């Protein structure tokens, strides 16, 4: 159970809120680079942390992220002209560059210096790994963009997609880092052999109550879950990284998954998903599978970020399929996860929950986020916000014969590390 007061801190992310200010200390993955288009193409609306913004690429190819509203008379810059290294408001022609400086004010006399006194809100941006990152906090507190391993890989070694989820970011993260639900929500009812679950072998079916070992780190948490069957001990080490990143351990033959659950506002989330393998490029079959919304990625409506399976159509649940084939009756894993977290309401009332030992990771993540936001209110900056090499880590899964915790075995610890050469 979580108090209503702490739930408010955890879930409210707008300007001036405790969690909103905490998140603004971190570089935010705003959107995919290919969503912006090329130089001088039309600007794109984007809403992050309750702020309405526009993204554009100027004549030199630089990405800009500005307040949607012109500081003159608050007209929308979405309708502006993207030309000659700046975005020009249609209303009176005021033009702003990617840094927010007003570089032209044709509605004022030629000898006026008023343009020098006007600035539109603009956020610093960087593009890494096919993602546009922005820093929305105080300039003097700006750290580094997280250095995830996939950022250094070629385009054919990692695939990135984005979609929307209609609930608060926190419960989206909670659904992701909860390994216990895999034995149920993502399982099948029509097979009892080693392929009895959608994600892995018999371990998920044979041991539905994993043993947890959760380690706190500078960047967040290592979420170790151990399942047991006749073959040995299956350890799955996922990661949660401040403030909303998840890294899911791959099973044999499946790519590693890194997801970012970025708050659009208090009740909506932008999900950026990366599938990658450092050892080989993805195949055409894998690409087609991701584009169809299978496994790691979500199938969205044409020209939209809204999923095809959604609350309005009951996530396309098929009761006959539920009775005879899959535990959920829904068409894909992403639909299953979205259904569980979205139907808890846009902001779940955590004061009504009754949590068990299977919720160990959720309890710890909430605790760290709320403590971090409260600490910032007392002037203590989040250490993880400096980013960079703190995020150069891996998730991992393996079967071992020893009855030991994952962090007692050097071979596992080494497998979860990223070589310095990858930075």
Please tell me the distance from the alpha carbon of residue 169 to that of residue 267, in angstroms, as a whole number: 8
Q: How many residues does the chain have?
A: 423
Q: What is the pLDDT of residue 191?
A: 67
Q: What is the pLDDT of residue 421?
A: 34
pTM score, whole prediction:
0.93
Residue 201: CB atoms within 10 A of its CB come to 19
Write out the chain's pLDDT in tens, 423 residues: 799 999 999 999 999 999 999 999 999 999 999 999 999 999 999 999 999 999 999 999 999 999 999 999 999 999 999 999 999 999 999 999 999 999 999 999 999 999 999 999 999 999 999 999 999 999 999 999 999 999 999 999 999 999 999 999 999 999 999 988 888 998 888 865 444 444 445 677 787 888 889 999 999 999 999 998 877 898 999 999 999 999 998 876 788 999 999 999 999 999 999 999 999 999 999 999 999 998 899 999 999 999 999 999 999 999 999 999 999 999 999 999 999 999 999 999 999 999 998 899 999 999 999 999 999 999 999 999 998 899 999 999 888 899 999 999 998 998 888 744 333
Q: What is the pLDDT of residue 201?
A: 57
Contacts of 416 (CB under 8 A, 6+ apart): 222, 237, 393, 394, 395, 396
Please tell me the distance from the alpha carbon of residue 175 to that of residue 187, in angstroms, as a whole number: 16
Residue in this structure with the two tokens 């659009």, named with its chain if needed? 264
Q: Which CATH number does 29-136 carry?
A: 2.102.10.10
Q: What is the pLDDT of residue 197?
A: 44
Q: End-to-end CA distance of the chain, in Å? A: 40
Considering only CA atoms, give the Rg of the chain: 23
Q: What is the pLDDT of residue 312?
A: 97
Name the residue ranges covered by the structural domains of the chain: 29-136, 149-422
- Residue 250's φ and ψ, nearest 5 degrees, are -75, 150
- Both tokens of 364, joined, read 């710890």
CATH topology of domain 149-422: Naphthalene 1,2-dioxygenase Alpha Subunit; Chain A, domain 1 (3.90.380)
Residue 137's nearest CA partner among 381, 395, 372 is 381
Please tell me the distance from the alpha carbon of residue 286 to that of residue 294, in angstroms, as a whole number: 9
CB 308 within 8 A of CB 300: yes
CB 121 within 8 A of CB 135: no
DSSP states of 215-270 as a string? Answer: EE-SSEEEEEEEEEETTEEEEEEEEEETTTEEEEPPPTTS-EEEEEEEEEETTEEE
82 pairs with which residues across the strands? 87
Residue 419: CB atoms within 10 A of its CB come to 9
């Amino acid at each position: 159970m979580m108090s209503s007061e702490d739930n408010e801190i955890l879930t409210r992310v707008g300007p001036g809120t405790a969690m909103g200010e905490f998140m603004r200390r971190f570089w935010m993955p705003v959107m995919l680079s290919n969503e912006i288009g090329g130089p001088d193409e039309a600007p794109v609306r984007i809403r992050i942390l309750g702020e309405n913004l526009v993204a554009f690429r100027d004549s030199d190819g630089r990405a800009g992220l500005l307040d949607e509203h012109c500081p003159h008379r608050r007209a929308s810059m979405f309708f502006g002209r993207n030309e000659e290294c700046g975005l020009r408001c249609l209303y009176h022609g005021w033009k702003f560059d990617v840094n927010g400086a007003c570089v032209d004010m044709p509605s004022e006399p030629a000898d006026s210096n008023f343009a020098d006194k006007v600035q539109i809100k603009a956020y610093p941006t960087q593009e890494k790994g096919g993602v546009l990152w922005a820093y929305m906090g105080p300039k003097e507190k700006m750290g580094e963009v997280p250095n995830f391993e996939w950022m250094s890989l070629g385009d054919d070694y990692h695939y990135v997609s984005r979609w929307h989820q209609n609930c608060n970011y926190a419960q989206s993260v909670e659904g992701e880092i909860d390994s216990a639900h895999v034995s149920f929500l993502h399982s099948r009812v029509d097979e009892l052999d080693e392929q009895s679950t959608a994600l892995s072998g018999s371990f998920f079916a044979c041991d539905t109550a994993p043993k947890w070992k959760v380690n706190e780190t500078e960047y967040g948490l290592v979420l170790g879950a151990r399942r047991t069957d006749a073959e040995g001990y299956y350890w799955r080490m996922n990661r949660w990284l401040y403030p909303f990143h998840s890294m899911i351990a791959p099973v044999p033959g499946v790519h590693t998954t890194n997801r970012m659950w970025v708050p659009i506002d208090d009740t909506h989330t932008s999900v950026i998903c990366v599938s990658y393998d450092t050892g080989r490029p993805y195949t055409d079959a894998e690409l087609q599978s991701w584009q169809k919304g299978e496994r790691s990625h979500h199938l969205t409506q044409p020209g939209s970020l809204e999923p095809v399976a959604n609350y309005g159509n009951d996530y396309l649940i098929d009761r006959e399929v539920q009775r005879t084939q899959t535990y959920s009756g829904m068409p894909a894993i992403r639909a299953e996860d979205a259904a569980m977290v979205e139907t808890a309401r846009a902001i779940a009332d955590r004061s009504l929950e009754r949590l068990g030992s299977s919720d160990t990771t959720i309890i710890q993540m909430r605790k760290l986020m709320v403590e971090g936001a409260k600490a910032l209110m007392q002037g203590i900056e989040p250490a993880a916000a400096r980013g960079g090499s703190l995020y150069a880590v891996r998730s991992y899964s393996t079967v071992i014969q020893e009855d030991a915790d994952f962090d007692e075995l050097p071979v596992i610890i080494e497998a979860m590390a990223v070589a310095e050469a990858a930075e």
